[in-house]
Chain A
Amino acid sequence: MKKSPVRTIVAIGIGAALFFVLGRFVAIPSPVPNTNICIQYGLLAFMAAIFGPVAGALIGLIGHALIDFSYGWGIWWSWVIASACFGGLMGIVAKRFRLADGIFEKKDILTFNIFQIIGHVIAWGVIAPVLDIVMYAEPANKVFIQGLVGGLVNIVTTAIVGTLLCVAYAAAKPKQGSLEEEKDD
């Protein structure tokens, strides 16, 4: 598919708006009281897989910063940056996928999930806690446990929601060579 820079800009805008709406208003109650499941990372992984690393990173950055802004608790930069890194990391593998051509096979599902797990581990297991320590001087064991719990939940929701979105999107796209010439005889 033809890549246009304008398309990426629009994808970032709409992606960030989707990220915001899912993160802010769509709360799926979880078994733990007062904890909701964030499904926006499934969306982020999916958008990054289609539009690449720049779009992924900026959707994470803008979407997460807007969520923090709307709650009014100040921007928690360390976690915003971690979101951006996850989007960027997922975007790096985007070249492997041919989602735009409607192809997303078993092998792609596997790659997608391996990379989303690696991405989440780097973002929430390393980047977010390290930035928490550097920026806010919080105790190490607290931020690492917070990061690990957040990361684990995100891995599970991305595996379900992200994979579902990729499969559905690929199925909705017309496949290359899916048309056959009808022969008159």
Chain B
Amino acid sequence: MTNIFNYIDRPSPIHRLTGATKLVCLLLWSFAAMSTYDTRLLAVLPVISFGLFAVSKIKLRDVSFMLGFTAVFMVLNNVLVFAFSPQHGVTLYGTRHALFSLGGNYVVTKEQLFYHLNLVLKYLASIPIVLLFVCTTNPSEFAASLNRIGVKYTVAYSVALALRYIPDIQREYHEISQAQQARGVEMSKKQTLVKRLKSAGAILIPLILSSMDRIEVISNAMELRGFGKHKKRTWYMGRPFRGADIAAMVLCALLLAAAILLNIHNGGRFWNPFA
């Protein structure tokens, strides 16, 4: 079941951190990577995250499919940015060092190439760390950790319910889809688009109606057990913080502080080597 989220259970220092710690670290790290365009910091972050991969005993082979997917997405996004706005770097950095022309407005400038380098680094700084989080955090512990960092437990419980029922709903969808296919509903490319959407409806309607019943059953069961009566609740998968947890959070907080200080020092989000 956990396969959809690619959780890989291996004994490692990163796996031993609590889910809440990893979530806090992920958030701090993401904010650091998101807030700055300082090339120096963006270049350091991927190095650290690949180091963390080694520590966590997650092999590149385990995540190669997702990394490949991300790489395609990254290339596509870069091509789109260049196609739509070949002079974006010039407006960002305020100078223009033309290298060569591809015709029309498509003049390749140093600034534009530097902006693309930053975009690529940004992906490398923010994506491997999410992969690491996904691979090393048990989904059940994830819901408990949401509550730990201050999300209301009712909302955290919604996340837990979603994680719990994804495999069930997936199975049900599959069953309904096969039953409808046996009755001649077709969703393949041979059909016209409108027909395909209609056949999707033939599967969706039974799925949604049965899910509505499911909502009734679950909420009755929870209400009967007094869910929502108290302000707090405990979690089966919750664990107490230890020294390593606090150290990890402090380190990630320092990263965010570094990003903010660099932004102040650079007088903006961009580090400008052309000025």
Q: Which of B9-17, B100-108, B202-210, B240-248 contacts A (4 or more CB under 8 A)?
A: B202-210
Is B34 an interface position by the 8 A CB rule?
Answer: yes
CB within 8 A of A10: which of B30, B83, B127, B215? B215
Binary B-proximity of A70-83 (CB < 8 A = 1, otherwise 0): 11111101000000
| Chain A residues whose CB sits within 8 angstroms of the CB of B236 once the complex forms | none
**Are the CB atoms of A73 and B127 closer together than 8 Å?**
yes
**Are the CB atoms of B169 and A21 closer together than 8 Å?**
yes
Alpha-carbon distance A71/B6, docked complex (angstroms): 9
**Are the CB atoms of B162 and A20 closer together than 8 Å?**
yes
Chain A contact surface mostly: helix
With A9-B154, A69-B134, A74-B126 as known contacts, state yes or no: A141 contacts B85, CB within 8 Å. Answer: yes
With A14-B215, A72-B130 as known contacts, state yes or no: A5 contacts B228, CB within 8 Å. Answer: yes
**Are the CB atoms of B162 and A63 closer together than 8 Å?**
yes
Is A93 an interface position by the 8 A CB rule?
Answer: no
| Chain A residues whose CB sits within 8 angstroms of the CB of B169 once the complex forms | 14, 17-18, 21
**Are the CB atoms of A139 and B63 closer together than 8 Å?**
no
We find that the number of chain A residues with CB closer than 8 angstroms to chain B is 58
**Are the CB atoms of B130 and A14 closer together than 8 Å?**
no
B→A interface (CB under 8 Å)? 4-6, 30, 34, 37, 63, 66-67, 69-70, 73, 80-81, 83-85, 88, 92, 122-123, 126-127, 130-131, 134, 154-155, 157-166, 168-170, 173, 187-189, 193, 196-197, 200-201, 204-205, 207-209, 211-212, 214-216, 218-219, 222-223, 227-228, 269-270
A→B interface (CB under 8 Å)? 4-7, 9-14, 16-18, 20-22, 24-26, 28-31, 37, 39, 42-43, 46, 58, 62-63, 66, 69-75, 77, 135-142, 145-146, 157, 160-161, 164-165, 168-169, 172
Name 5 A/B residue pairs within 8 A (Cβ), A-sorted: A43-B208, A63-B162, A73-B73, A136-B34, A161-B200
